[in-house]
Amino acid sequence: MPGEKLFEELLVGEKVEATSHSRIMTGSEIALKWEELEELLETLFDACLAFDAPRIRELLVKAPLGYQPQSEPVDLVWAKQAAQGLASPPAPAPQGGKRVALRSRPTSTAS
């Protein structure tokens, strides 16, 4: 019939388990606490601002995301500029330096 959905796969993770119904499966996905996710996003954002591809890769590999890179990182813009003698490798992001907030944080006001 038109519009009839015959098959849909929603599972992304690797921990797939059967249920009492033979055609329904469940998956256990990785979930970070908001504080952990926010810290990861802030750190990734800082690395992106610094154009620090090795740091970005390191953060993604260490995060519980299942990210498995298939090759070494390639920065085509830097490689082109370096070939023309216009660039030096990007400086690593400062450790413990000032962080740039991804979003404004609510401030508490005393009533």
d(CA 39, CA 22): 40
Q: Of all residues in the chain, what percent carry a pLDDT higher than 90?
A: 16
Of 25, 44, 26, 15, which is closest to residue 102 (Cα–Cα)?
44
Other residues' Cβ atoms within 10 Å of the Cβ of residue 57: 15
Q: Residue 107: pLDDT above 80? A: no
How many residues appear in the chain?
A: 111
pLDDT value, residue 29: 75
pLDDT at 102 over 60: no
- pLDDT bin (cut points 50, 70, 90) of residue 39 is very high
Cα angle at 106 between 64 and 46, to 5 degrees? Answer: 45
Query: Does 49 have pLDDT greater than 80?
Result: yes
Q: Quickly state the pLDDT bin for 7 (edges 50, 70, 90).
A: low
